[in-house]
Structures are given as C-alpha cells and as structure tokens.
Structure 1
Amino acid sequence: MNLLTVLALAPALLVARYLVTFFYTSYTSRSLFSIPGPFWARFSRLWYFHRVWKGHFEEDNIHLHEKYGPVVRVAPGQYSIHDRAALKTIYGTGTKFAKSAWYEGWKHPDPERFTLFPDRDIKRHGETRKRFSSLYSMSSLVHYEEFVDLCADVFFARLGEFAERDAMFNLGEWFQFYAFDVIGQITYGQRFGFLDQGLDIDGTIGAINHVLVYSTLIGIYHEWHPRLFGPLSRFTWSGAGGRAYIMRYVQEKIAQFSAKSKSDVEHGPLKTQTFLEKMILARDKDPEKVTDYHVFMMGQSNIFAGSDTTAISLSAIMYNLLHYPAVLKKLREEIDEFTAQGRCSDNVTFKESQDMPYFQAVMKEALRMHSATGLPFWRVVPRGGAEISGRFFPEGTVVGVNSWVFHYDESIFPDAKAFRPERWIEAENDPAQLKVMNEMYMPFGLGSRTCIGKHISILEMSKLIPRVLREFDFTLETQKWNTENFWFVKPTNFTVRVRRRNTKPKA
C-alpha cells in the first residue's frame, strides 16, 4: 500500500473509528441515553470543545443546568452534575473517582514526569501531597509574611506613582505581578521583578497564559496531546512551547538557588527559610523520599498555580467592592476602626486580618461570586459504577461539578447574583444553613484534590486588601470587565485610576 493510498483512506479510517467509538459508548451507556443536553453533545466532543473555546463556559454551565436539570450531557459519556449529594460520592474522603483524562493536557506526555495537579494516580498523588503538605500549611506560611511585605511595599510604591500621574492601568495585571513576585520571593527568596519593571519579564506570564489555553483545549481531545506536544514545543506562542519555557525557567532558578545556597551556608543560615531551601534540606536529609525531581516538580507547581488564582481572587474582591459602594464603605469603617485601636498595623498581619469579621465575609463572598476556576472538576466513575442523582453511571463515565453552578444556586445562596457579604455573618445564627453554604463553597476545589496552595493565596489576599483600602481610593474606568475562561476565569480589562486617601487613619 503506497503513501497516496494511505492518505486517501485516512479520512475514512478516522470516520470509521469515530463511529465505532460512538456506537460502543452508546451501547455501554444505554442506561444514560435519556439524559438531556444539547443535541450535538450526544454525538461528539466538538460541541463541548467549541463552547470551552468561546471562553465563557462558567456561564454556559449555569444555563445548561437551568435548562436541562441536575444532570446534563456535555459530550458522549461526559456529564455535568448539579446535585448536593453527588459531592460526597464523587469527591468525598476515600473516593475512588480519579481525575479524568482531561488532566492529561496539563502534564508532560512522558508518564514518568508527573506533577501534583494533573496526577491521575490516586495513591501516588496522596503520597506526594502528604509528603509536602506541611510546607503549605498556614502555620508554615505565616513565617513567610516578611516575604509578602517586601513585595507589597513595591506594589504600593507603584500605586503611588499611578496616583501621582492620574494614570489608567489594568489592576488585574498588577495583581498578577504582585502574586507572581510573592511566589518568587517565597519559593526562591527573590522577586521575579514584575513589580519593579512593570512588565511581563521574558514573556513568563504570557507563556503561562498559552499553557492555560493549550491545556484546557487539548485536554478535551487528550489523545492528541502526545502527538502535538513535541512539534508545538518548538513554537513560543504555543501552550506546549510555554510549558517547555517554564520548565527551563524553573530549572535555571533551582540551579541559581543551589549555587547561592552553598555560599549562604558559609555565612550562616537565612533568617527565614524559603520554600525551595526547605525542599532542598528535605532532599539532602532523605534523598529517596524527596528526590531532585520532587524539588523541580513542586517548584514548577508553585509557578504555574501561584499567580493566576491569587490575582483573579484579588481582582474579584476589588471589582465587587467598587461595584457595591455601601459594602466598600462598611469594610473601610472596620479597617479604620481596627487601625485607630492599634489592632491593624502598617504591614497588616495575617492574624490581624483574621480578626476582622466583615473583611472575612467580604473575601468569602467575592470568591463565591467569582471563583478562579470555571470548568467542572472532571472525574471518572470507578469500577462497578456509581449511583449519582438517581441514575446509575457505569464505570468509565466522566462526571464533574462546576463551582460556579453551585455558587449561583438560589436554593443555597438566595439572590445569588448580588454581592452580599452579610449572608455569611447572618448564617452564623443558623448552623444548618451555614453548614450547607460551607459544603457548597468550593473556590479552591473539593476533597483530597483541594488546591494545595490555597493558604498562600489566602495569606496574600488577607495582608494586601486591608492595606490597599486603607491607603488608596479607586475609580473604575470600565464598568463591566471582560473575562475569558481557560480553566481560570481571568479578567482582561480591569482598568482603574487610583488616588491616595485623604482620610487615612492613624493608629
């Protein structure tokens, strides 16, 4: 058979493969044939791919459940779930529901090069997480406060410059500069320099954005990832190229740190150990338990996840406050009162922020309104199948819930489209209601796969927002922002002006 014959037959073979797969899936999942959903979602993944590619699937997902009910087909053998009881079944303690093949798009095709977020091996993930979870605990992170303060000082200097020039700027972008420099300071003991230079150094943030788009989309057609990753890695504009760039970037940082740490040891220990230093000390203590690859993997994970989630959450807090002046006024009064009482220092401490009840409610409500992740947390039904929302799902079926769907559920959060922090304070008088609200609150994921770095994000937000509101006033230049959802629901035009407050309280 010559090459021309093969090329001529290729389309027919692809169609035949699709038909075989479709009829096999239809036969094995015939008990699910009546599940509603968009017409074209019954036949291929293309409908879901197209809607995700449009960049607003968090909204699509809410509308799908409003139209079709608690279980919706989004592709053959793939279902979005909106059922409270399903959360424990799919994501509860000891669950056997592994991450779906969609997560393959988030890792290197080499199966030996696993990373924490997309790892589909439940046992290996559990062991890895247990090995390093103490590094991400809140008790460990409060020791990093001085690192956060160093970056916050530069951030406030830049805000002051914008205020003096009365310049418009993208606050969401600067929040990402801040979050990126903080994670650099915590991980490697030095800022990357985004705040200092006010730009995307070496295209690092752009590379991560390319990874988000590529991984989100290729994960839907995950079988193509091993074929496309290699060729696309040669192009800096591709997500595969972005991933390769970040890998080299982290390797260089680790090499620089290792060379520097040898010198530091001669001059005495650091005042506060960085994340990477703790990892290297753990590796040197027990190289079989903590390998060089673990050091690289966790350092890379910090970079990939450490800036976007925090920047989006900071933006969500400020965006909603600027749209609800009464809430902003009430929060400012709390901050000013704490400052006047000497309970809120110049560099707001994490502990001080935790003592502010209205601020805690504001932060929680903002992350309910705009969670960083905007796609379902896809999982695979384990061997033996599972009963979910009154239906039996055979093993291999893909199911998932989207935080946005639950966060806008009127039965859980009445008047869900309104930014009302008071709902969390009022619920403290109704333990049953508060329990339900907390169970349905998932801005950092669910169960054993909850974002390991969530405490870093909470630390950064807790220290920055009270200080920002105490020192500056902001004016929106764009009343309604635009967002795009490629796993993370990122604002693209959070444009503001800033000026210094004339009524800054004195402790």
Structure 2
Amino acid sequence: MPSILLSLSTSPITLVVLPLVLSVGYVLYQCFFSPLANVPGPLLAKLTRFWLVHKTLKGNLHRELVHLHSLYGSLVRIAPDEISVAEPTAFKKIYGAGNNFRKSDWYGALQGHRRFDLFAERNENIHSANRRLVSRIYSLDTIKCYEPYVDDSIRHFVGKMVEFSSTSIDMGKWLQLFAFDVIGEVTFAQRFGFMDAHEEDGIFTRINRSVASGVWLAHVPWVLRVHNFLMPAIGNWLAINDRDGTVRDYTTREVKNRLGRGSNRPDILGRVYGAGSDTTAISLRAILYFLLIHPDKKMKLIAELDAAAATGKLSDPVKFDEARGLPYLQAVMYEGMRLYPAIATTLPRVVPPEGLYIDNGTKREIFAPGGV
C-alpha cells in the first residue's frame, strides 16, 4: 500500500490533476458555499486579495468601489473574506465609539514596529490609553492656540502668490509646500522653509512612495512579513520601510533642531509630534479644483466673503471662529472633502464573533459572520 501511495504522489498525472482538483474545489467553495457567497462582487475578488492589490496599485480602487456599489448595491464582496459596505446605518455600528469591531491586519502593515501609532494600533486597551495621552493636545481649544502661527504661514503664502501673480505656477505643488510649512510652524515653532525655497528637499517623494507602498501591502500583510524576514539577505525592496528609515530620520533631525533652538513659544512638539501635511494638501487641492471648474460656485463664495468683509466681520487672514459663521464657505469645504476624500482606501474592521446583519439595500439583510 505505501508503495502505491508513493507512486500516486509522484506520478506526473497526480502532480497535474491534484492541484487542478484543489483549485476547482476552492473556486466552487468561494463562489457557492462560502458564508459570503451570496454577496455580489467581481469573480476575481471572490477568489483572491490580489484583486484589491491590483486596483490599489493602479490608483483607482476608490473609483472602482463607487462603480461596483452602483452595480451591486450597498454590499460588495471585494476579497474572499472582505466586503465593502455603503450603508449609512451600518457605519455607526462598525465605526462607532465603543463597538466591538476591532481593526484588521490591514493596519498592522502601516504600523510596523512603532509602539505609538494612534491610527494603526489594533489593541483597544493600548489605543485607549494612548488616546488619553494626547486627547487634550488635539482638542479644539488647544489647536486654536496655534492659530496666530498658522496665520503667519498664510500671510507668507499669500505673499508668494502675489510674487508669482504674473506667471503660471503649479498650485498643487504650492499648496503642499504651504501645508508642510504650516505643520513645521505648529509642530516645531518654525517653518521648514519650503515656500522660501520654492521647492521641497525630497521628503515629499519619500512620503508618497512610502504611503503608496503601504496601502497595497496592507491588503496582503503577509508579503511584508516575508519580505522583512528575508531582508537581511535580499535587501529592502519596499518603500514602506522608509517610515522606519528616511522619514523617521527626517523627523528625528527636526526634533533635535527644535530642541536645540529653544523657544518660549508653545508648539505641538512641546507635547507630542504629529503630522498631517499630505491630507491637508489633498483637501486644499480638491476644494480649489472644484471651485475652479465650477466658476458660478466660486463667485458665490467670493460674494459671501466680500459681504462679510464689507461689514467688518472678517480679519485678515480670516479667523477660525469667523469662518465658522460663513455657511457657504463651510459647505464648499465639506463638499470638496466629500467629493475627494484625503484617504481614498478601505479602512477595514473585523466583525465580532456574534456576526452582523447588514441591509443590502433591497429590504433583505445579509449576515456577515464573525471574522469577516
């Protein structure tokens, strides 16, 4: 008998047929017998997470998800064990405070070896403890304390726009230079100097490559683990590791420079270092872009600003509290960020053991089992 089994396991026919049978069985299971088999979606997505990787690498996952939801409704299967939800009532259950939907392994690839990472930390106890440490720092009252320093950067930016008013410039680039200098102003009590130099020093490219690498690896975190295990032999092939290299070194250098300068001026570094230049720049670009392609809306916004300025309700630059009293300005900002979110990827959570019933938009609920 052992000899018969051995001959079967090593015969050419077995080596061909067995993988084929297993593959067919896997496809049949995912399409017809999986707990998510009744959730519609692309065939390839039902079989492998590399559908997500492919769409992410192409940079159109966010558009693809909108398209799929328009075809299939509020629930779309985008991986063997993952569904995309476009049901407002489900958002509160999934992302609401105090829920049992823990962050998935997707976040682990973004956290890496960092111990303090409010965004990616998956342990709820650690996340809650860390959040308490910085909650006062990011409160509205605290953030408003830095408004005079943000205003300095705004004046500098406006001055640069006047300087270049007779020529064409890349506003997307300048908005990122401005956003990064604002982060330097409130974090390190000094602008990075990008607006003065009219250029960045390479850190933008490093950050963009690191983020682009991280978002596709987050869908298949095992690839990152295997790569990092082999890295002593093969070297680093993934830009995401710059978060623990070039980007970390850049931040460390700026921290040392700030501590070396000394200052009585309050800044966030005096409490904690945080970043937001990329998302700020993306939102500013989106708002400006949509205003430019909708000139009637731009003129309506200008009219609101002019009317408020004529009655002495606006400072120069406009203060935060003054801006809150301009309803059309608020609508423009929120609509710009709605149409073009700064984070255009999934933020997956894991369904708790008891599972979740979700309305699929056809008055029929679909059950998502625990672990999805």
Length-normalised TM-score, structure 2? 0.86
Q: Which residue in the other structure is 2:257 paired with? A: 256
Query: Matched residues in 1 for 2:33 and 2:125: separation?
Result: 28
Task: Please give the root-mean-square deviation of Cα atoms over the aligned residues, in Å.
Answer: 2.8
Name 1:273's counterpart in structure 2: 266
C-alpha separation in 2, matches of 1:144 and 1:43: 50
What secondary structure is seen at the aligned counterpart in 1 of 2:83?
A: strand
Cα offset, 1:307, TM superposition = 0.8
C-alpha distance in structure 2 between counterparts of 1:384 and 1:138, whole Å? 37
Query: Which residue does 1:129 correspond to in 2?
Result: 131
Q: Structure 1: which amino acid aligns with 2:246?
A: Y
Q: Distance in 1 between matches of 2:145 and 2:73?
A: 47
- What do residues 41-96 of structure 1 show as CA deviations (whole Å, max 9, x unaligned)? 12111222111111111111011011122211111111101212211221122111
Is residue 211–residue 243 contact of structure 1 (8 Å, CA) maintained in 2?
Answer: no
Give 1:21 shift.
12
In structure 2, the residue matched to 1:459 is none
- Measured in 2, the distance between the counterparts of 1:147 and 1:311 equals 18
Contact (CA 8 Å) 1:51, 1:57: kept in 2 or not? Answer: yes
- Larger RCO of the pair (alpha carbons < 8 Å, separation 6+): 1
Post-superposition offset of 1:26: 4.6
**In the aligned structure 2, how far is the partner of 1:143 from the partner of 1:34?**
52
The Cα of 1:169 is off from its aligned counterpart by 1.9
Residue 348 of structure 1 is aligned with which of 318, 323, 348?
318
Structure 1 SS opposite 2:165: helix
Shift of 1:319: 0.9
Superposition pairs of residues 286-435 of structure 1, within 5 angstroms: 295=272, 299=273, 302-303=274-275, 306-389=276-359, 390-397=365-372
Cα displacement (A) at 1:250: 1.5
Query: What secondary structure sits across from 1:53 in the alignment?
Result: helix
The answer to whether 1:77 aligns with 2:47 is: no
Aligned partners of 1:208 and 1:243 also within 8 Å:
no
Gaps of 5+ in 1: 1-11, 265-269, 280-294, 398-507
Cα deviation for residue 241 of structure 1 reads 2.7
Aligned to 2:219: 220
**Matched residue SS, 1:169:** coil
Q: Using a 3 Å threshold, how does the CA distance of structure 1 residues 155 and 22 change in structure 2: closer, same or farther?
A: farther
Task: Check 1:338–1:28 CA distance in 2 against 1; reply closer, same or farther (3 A cut).
Answer: same
The correspondence of residues 1-400 of structure 1 with structure 2, limited to 5 A, is: 26=30, 30-108=34-112, 110=113, 113-164=115-166, 166=167, 168-201=168-201, 203-229=202-228, 231=231, 238-241=239-242, 243-261=244-262, 264=263, 270=264, 272-277=265-270, 279=271, 295=272, 299=273, 302-303=274-275, 306-389=276-359, 390-397=365-372
1:117-150: CA deviations, max 9, x gaps?
Answer: 1111122112211221211111111111121112
Q: Is the 8 A contact 2:36 2:77 kept in 1?
A: no
- Count residues in correspondence: 348
Structure-1 separation of matches of 2:29 and 2:110: 25
Task: Give the whole-Å Cα distance in 2 for the aligned partners of 1:222 and 1:136.
Answer: 30
The offset of 1:370, in angstroms, is 1.4
Q: Do the aligned partners of 1:200 and 1:206 also contact (CA within 8 Å) in 2?
A: no
Contact 1:207 1:236 in 2 (8 A): no
In 1, the alpha carbon distance for the partners of 2:319 and 2:136 equals 21
Which 10-residue stretch deviates more, 329-338 or 235-244?
235-244
Contact 2:27 2:47 in 1 (8 A): no
CA distance in 2, matches of 1:369, 1:138: 25
Q: Which one-letter code corresponds to 1:193 in the other structure? A: G
Q: Which amino acid aligns with 2:123?
A: D
Distance 2:180 2:25 in 1: 43
1:355 Cα shift? 1.5
State the 1:181 CA deviation.
0.7
* AA in 1 matched with 2:152: L
What is the CA–CA distance in structure 2 between the aligned matches of 1:208 and 1:394, rounded to whole Å?
37
Rounded Cα–Cα distance in structure 2 between residues aligned with 1:77 and 1:20: 18
Q: Secondary structure at the residue paired with 1:379?
A: coil
Q: Secondary structure at the match of 1:252?
A: helix
Residue-by-residue CA offset, 1:295-344 (whole Å, 9 max, x unaligned): 5xxx2xx23xx111111111111111111111111111111122122111
Is the CA contact (8 Å cut-off) linking 1:236 and 1:242 kept in structure 2? no
Identity %: 33
**Displacement after TM superposition at 1:20 (Å):** 12
- Which 4+ stretches in 1 moved above 6 angstroms? 18-21
> Does the aligned pair in 2 maintain the 1:176–1:311 contact within 8 Å?
yes
Structure 1 equivalent of residue 8 of structure 2: none
The code of the aligned residue for 2:267 comes to T
User: Matched residues in 2 for 1:170 and 1:138: separation?
Assistant: 32
TM-score, normalised relative to structure 1: 0.64
What is the alpha-carbon distance in structure 2 between the residues aligned to residue 29 and residue 194 of structure 1? 56
